[in-house]
Structure 1
Amino acid sequence: MPALSSENLPQYQLHAPNQPLDVDCMLLLIILGKILLNILTLGMRRKGTNQNFMDYFCISLALIDLVLLVNISIISYFRDFVFLGIRFTKYHICLLTQIVSLTYGLLHYPVFVIAYIDYCLNFSRTPKLSSKGQRLFYLSIVILIWISVLAYVLGDPAIHQSLEAQGVSYQCPSYVSSQSYWLSVSMMLLLSGAFITSWSEVLTLIQAVRITSYMNDTILYFPFSPHNSYTGNSKKTLTPKLTVCFLGTWLPFVLLQAVMLFLNVQMPAYIEMNVPWLYFVNSFLIATVCWFNCHEVYLKDSVFPVDPFVNWKCCFIPLMIHHLEQTEKPISVIIC
């Protein structure tokens, strides 16, 4: 039976189709490295961040990566064994990796949309659930989305035929998701557009930004200009500040994305979906929602979105407190 072509399998591209089925330590090392990167990223989060969908999904992704590593290690160690009446061989390492890749590759759009809706609802004044209710709600959504996408992957006839064909031909291709590619392209274009349209303001802010303390928290303070109108052109005022805050944290990751897009690097989906990438998308979503809902931004922690890596509060303090320099003593001045 011939292997399935890329036209018959939507949203995926074949990569290295003639890769042999034999799996060496490279796959285990790659997944182990990804797990260590996930743990490091989760450990670097700012303390006291609010609960949100993205946090729960990132934790679930780290757990599934760990389960994948354990299963691949067991199959690789025993090579050929029977468990619950099912015979497992080295072929199942390839099969399991491809199922995970197909599942990961289909999750970028749903996770992006659900996280965006979650932050939009946080900005709205709708009644909020209790802390326990929020945890149960987010946990249920995460479980539901994993089950739904996995059921689609296992039930799609084209995918099922492709997996069967690879078992006959002893090929183990890697799949590259188009969802992550187009998300990366869209975010880079929007970020580039924001920087180009406000590059002079961005450079001015970088030269004038200060490190100060506010409510026992160290923040970047953008001096307030009395000529700016918060109600008249708040989005125009926020664009350079959001750009500086985002690039100040994620500039290495932005440069990495630009290089990968320029060189057309194709990464397998089981590597591309990782915790650092999700938190990068998360920060971009928060900046986007804040820009669209700038009139709803308050200093109260119950309303203001809390990013595990970017302190967005410094973008809005000058808009709410015009004389912060008189009430809080700057710690230092950044000279660029």
Structure 2
Amino acid sequence: MTLSSENCSEFQYQVLQRSQTLDANCLLFLIILGKMLLNILTLKMRRKNIYQNFMECFCISLAFIDLLLLVNISVIFYSRDFVLLGMRFTKYHICLLTQIISCTYGFLHYPVFFITCIDYYLNFSKTIKLPCKWQKSFYFSTVILIWIFVLAYVLGDPAIYQSLKTQGTSPSQCSVYVSVQGYWFSFSMVIILFMAFVASWPDIYTLVQAIRITSYKNETILYFPFPSHSIYNINSKKALLPRFVICFLGTWSPFVLLQVIILLFKVQIPAYIELNIPWLFFVNSFLIATVYWCNCQKLTLQSIVLPRDPFVNWKCCFIPFTINNFEQIEKPISIIVC
């Protein structure tokens, strides 16, 4: 029995198409697995003695959703074709599921940003003070509602739903969703950082030359010395801005450089990769610095501990202002040579 030339070509095309689909699914599995490992590593590296806040709860929920996505992709990829609760699942549903998650992630930037800002404002002003148990419950309830509302919006929009349905039934049309919100959010942060760096460049240059690493209450901090006759104080935005820029870039400079490269070369990053826990902690540090700087007139030594950053020790920006004769109290460990 021999195969005709036409049948042979059709058979080769089907094998090639199946091979490309499997390769794409394997690549997607490896990407999600790598993101999961990065999420776990970041959560392990953060400070453990920070108070509970909205961003912290959202990061935990994001890690959980990524885990669910990884499990579902693995089950569908392994089973290939199965029926569950009257619905038939095939390898094409991997694309559909990824597209739904990508669209959901892509619409989460602005809501998470605004709610985090409100959370920090309320905690900073101390207008509302809830017991710790109720506060955690409120945060997790808010996170769940955000996920539900955004997912309902994605599935309820006729245009988005039709696009997802079309792409989910054909592997050749399985394009990835790139978030516009994520692009403009990164662009805004980079521009603000650039403007702050340029505006405070002379002070940054002077501070970097004089920075010392010292210890305070058994914690290693940066010490920014100022002359005793300096008119700067904790309520001075001009004095705090270069310190914030140094602390922020000292921690997140590789991430800032990555954002600049992505924006300059217009790299298209799928939303399910772009929204990750390291990026959220990067945004979190930026928001905390902004809240501190905008409310520097209200700062006292007691209010400095709220909110605290999982990665940046903002306290070192204020200690020389708030403690008299700091140089006599603590001896520097070393001096940074620039």
TM-score clears 0.5: yes
CA deviation string 1:280-333 (max 9, x = no partner)? 000000000000001222333685321000000011112212421111121111
Give me the whole-angstrom Cα distance separating, in 1, the residues matched to 2:259 and 2:286. Answer: 14
CA deviation string 1:112-131 (max 9, x = no partner)? 11111111111103241111
Give 1:204 deviation, angstroms.
1.1
Give me the whole-angstrom Cα distance separating, in 1, the residues matched to 2:42 and 2:271. Answer: 19
Look up the match of 2:158: 157
Letter in 2 for 1:274: N
- Tell me the SS of whatever aligns to 2:221: strand
In 2, are the aligned partners of 1:299 and 1:313 still within 8 Å (CA)? no
Give me the whole-angstrom Cα distance separating, in 1, the residues matched to 2:167 and 2:71. Answer: 23
Look up the match of 1:299: 301
Sort the Cα spacing of 1:204 and 1:330 in 2 relative to 1 into closer, same or farther, 3 A.
same
- Tell me the SS of whatever aligns to 1:212: strand
Higher Cα radius of gyration: 2
In 2, are the aligned partners of 1:212 and 1:221 still within 8 Å (CA)? yes
Letter in 1 for 2:147: W
Give me the whole-angstrom Cα distance separating, in 2, the residues matched to 1:112 and 1:189. Answer: 17
Look up the match of 2:145: 144
Look up the match of 2:287: 285
- Tell me the SS of whatever aligns to 1:331: strand
Whether 1:330 and 2:332 are equivalent positions in the alignment is: yes
Matches within 5 A, 1:148-297: 148-167=149-168, 169-170=170-171, 171-225=173-227, 226-230=229-233, 234-297=236-299
Give 1:167 deviation, angstroms.
4.1
- Tell me the SS of whatever aligns to 2:117: helix
- Tell me the SS of whatever aligns to 1:224: coil
Look up the match of 1:320: 322
Q: Which runs of 5+ in 2 are unaligned?
A: 1-19
Equivalenced residue count is: 316
Once the two structures are overlaid, the 10-residue window that deviates more, 42-51 or 99-108, is 42-51
Aligned-residue Cα RMSD (Å) equals 1.5
Give me the whole-angstrom Cα distance separating, in 1, the residues matched to 2:55 and 2:318. Answer: 23
Give me the whole-angstrom Cα distance separating, in 2, the residues matched to 1:229 and 1:166. Answer: 59
Look up the match of 2:92: 91
Give me the whole-angstrom Cα distance separating, in 1, the residues matched to 2:315 and 2:249. Answer: 15
> Which is bigger in relative contact order (C-alpha 8 A, separation at least 6)?
1
User: Going by fraction, where is helix more abundant, 1 or 2?
Assistant: 2
Sort the Cα spacing of 1:32 and 1:223 in 2 relative to 1 into closer, same or farther, 3 A.
same
TM-score, with normalisation over the residues of structure 1?
0.91
Give me the whole-angstrom Cα distance separating, in 1, the residues matched to 2:168 and 2:30. Answer: 24
